Amino acid sequence: MTNRLSGKRVFITGAAQGIGKAIAEAYAAEDARLFLVDRDETLLEETAAALASKGTVLGFQAADISDASAIEAAVGKAEEQIGSINALVNNAGVNVFAEPLQTTDEEWQRCFDINLKGAWHCCRSVLPYLISEGGGVILNIASTHAFTIIPHTFPYPLAKHALLGMTKSLGIEYAPQNVRVNAIAPGYVSTQKVIDYWNSFPDPEKAKADTMKLHPGGRIATPQEIAMAAVFMISDECSFMNATCLTIDGGLSVMQHQ
Point out the catalytic residue in the list 156, 174, 188, 197: 156
What domains, with CATH codes, occur in the chain?
Answer: 9-188+222-248 (3.40.50.720)
Entry pTM:
0.96
CA-CA distance, 90 to 79, in Å (whole number)? Answer: 17
pLDDT in tens, 175-211: 999 999 999 999 999 998 899 889 999 999 999 999 9
pLDDT in tens, 32-73: 999 999 999 999 999 999 999 999 999 999 999 999 999 999
Determine phi and psi for 216, rounding to 5 degrees: -55, -35
Determine phi and psi for 120, rounding to 5 degrees: -65, -40
> Rg (Cα) of the chain, in Å, rounded?
18
pLDDT reading at 258 higher than 90:
no
Name the residue among 88, 91, 2, 1 with its Cα closest to residue 38. 91
CA-CA distance, 233 to 19, in Å (whole number)? Answer: 15
Asked if 174 is an active-site residue, the reply is no
State residue 1's pLDDT score: 64
